[in-house]
Amino acid sequence: MRPEQREFVNEPAYNLLMCHYGDTWHPLAVTVEGQVAGFCLWARDDDGSRWIGGVMVDADRQGRGIGRAMIKAMRDRLIAEPGTPNVALSYVPENTAARALYLSLGFVETGEKEDDEVIARWTPPAG
């Protein structure tokens, strides 16, 4: 991540410790040509919804569609889990790049808040 993005997401080490010492979040790395290019977390909430968190892409690889592909793949993977009503994520309002990405992938801001973050959810189309 770039230095100016540090205010928007926890350090990877913090996220990994949260996964290791808790039983809620699970880490996933994104690799490109055998090298780690991105990272995210996923979790299951009490209501069955799945969450995506801790999203980051290596600074040198940003702008190449890695983040978009990661969120889309995670969204599709998580919604396929039985009993999942929606996939949620959250972001600080000032993170306009993340907001634009998530909204372009069909996530909808719900008016809910998680601490100081906006919550958006994706629900598959009926059909």
Task: Answer whether residue 44 is part of any domain.
Answer: yes
Range(s) of the domain holding residue 92: 3-122
Sequence-distant (≥ 6) Cβ neighbours of residue 59 within 8 angstroms? 1, 2, 5
What is residue 12's predicted lDDT score, i.e. its pLDDT?
Answer: 67
pLDDT digits (tens, 9 = 90+) for 97-127: 889 999 999 999 999 998 899 999 999 887 6
What is residue 126's predicted lDDT score, i.e. its pLDDT?
Answer: 74
What is residue 9's predicted lDDT score, i.e. its pLDDT?
Answer: 63
Q: Is the pLDDT of residue 94 over 80?
A: yes
pLDDT digits (tens, 9 = 90+) for 14-55: 666 666 677 788 888 888 889 888 889 999 999 999 999 888
pTM equals 0.83
Half-sphere exposure at residue 62, Cβ-oriented, CA atoms within 13 angstroms: 12
- CATH, residue 17: 3.40.630.30
What is residue 97's predicted lDDT score, i.e. its pLDDT?
Answer: 87
Task: Answer whether residue 38 is part of any domain.
Answer: yes
Task: Answer whether residue 127 is part of any domain.
Answer: no
Percent of the chain with pLDDT over 70: 83
CA dist., res. 100 & res. 110, Å (int): 15
Domain count, the chain: 1
Q: Is the pLDDT of residue 60 over 70?
A: yes
Place of tokens 């999203």: 55
Task: Answer whether residue 51 is part of any domain.
Answer: yes
Average of pLDDT values for 82-104?
93
Task: Answer whether residue 83 is part of any domain.
Answer: yes
